[in-house]
Amino acid sequence: MERRGMTARACRRTAAAILTIALAAAGMSAAAEETLAAYNTYQAVPFVVDKGGLAADVVAYLNTKLKGKYKLQLENVPRKKLNETIEADANFKGVVLFLNPMFVNDADKKKFYWTPSFLSDANAVISPAAKKVEYSDPASLNGLRFAGVVGNRYAGLEERFGKELQREDVTEELSNLKKIASGRADVTIMPFSTYRFLLKQLGSQSPLSSTLYVSQKPHAKFDRFIFVSKNDAALGKELDAVVAGMKSDPAWKAVLSRYDLE
């Protein structure tokens, strides 16, 4: 009887030990996967399309590559809010998608940790077809009414706003196309990827396709990056490794194809 009782107690102790180890392992696994916000400031297509879009697909793609280490959760935020967040605290927690160092006053890449580029794009200069604007340099827009987006910074133009160039903002790009087409503004600038996708969504029968003109010279050609805080070098290096393999990855090529990107 005593031996049987001791055996039962030993079994219970063994089971308890196994359970403790399992719970500890589960806790270690959960702790290893850090959840972080992935900020996207582009509210227009193709970055946001209905409940999905390029931003959601990029986050899903990154999560498959970072599995077990980090988990990113997409947060679509106005550019103004992001500017306030990263300017208030250079040690912010999270990942910022799609921006270029020039867009956040970090051309020398000293403020934040930047991955290699993973997309190429350009800023299209758009005007009414009846009053075409050919862009050559910032001075070529002097005297015009500029349709901007709240929180966006336009390289080479910021110091001209309110002086040689009058700026009026809205919250998204489609409204600016309508303003240009109706003659309520003279010129706007937006990513060519957005402009092309908007026209595709509107369809060839939309009046906008025949009433808008795109300057032969863009405002700028640029690459898109991911950046994190300088204090998150470990995360930055993980993202570096993911981005380095994107161009040759069929899964990433499929994402680009979905949005007519290269």
pLDDT (tens digit per residue) in 38-86 = 999 998 899 999 989 999 999 999 999 998 799 999 999 988 899 898 8
Amino acid at site 197: F
For residue 106, pLDDT over 80 is answered with yes
Structure tokens at 220: 């700028």
The torsion angles phi and psi of 188, rounded to 5 degrees, stand at -145, 165
Name the band, by pLDDT with cuts 50, 70 and 90, for residue 260: confident
Alpha-carbon distances of 150 from 41, 83, 170, rounded to whole Å: 11, 11, 6
The domains found in the chain, sorted by start residue, are: 32-118+225-258 (3.40.190.10), 121-221 (3.40.190.10)
| Average pLDDT of the segment spanning 28-34 | 59
For residue 101, pLDDT over 70 is answered with yes
Q: By the 8 A CB rule, do 170 and 149 touch?
A: yes
Q: How many CB atoms lie within 10 A of CB 177?
A: 24
The residue behind tokens 């040689």 is 164
Name the band, by pLDDT with cuts 50, 70 and 90, for residue 15: very low
pLDDT value at residue 57? 98
For residue 218, pLDDT over 80 is answered with yes
For residue 18, pLDDT over 50 is answered with no
pLDDT value at residue 7? 57
| Average pLDDT of the segment spanning 237-257 | 96
| Average pLDDT of the segment spanning 164-183 | 94
End-to-end, the C-alpha distance of the chain in Å comes to 76
Three-state SS letters, 38-99: EEECCCCCCCCECCECHHHHHHHHHHHHHCCCEEEEEEECCHHHHHHHHHHCCCCCCEEECC
Rounded to the nearest 5 degrees, what angle is found at the Cα of 203, between the Cα atoms of 201 and 208? 95
Residue 257 CA to residue 246 CA, distance in Å, equals 13
Q: By the 8 A CB rule, do 229 and 92 touch?
A: yes
Residue 49 CA to residue 227 CA, distance in Å, equals 23
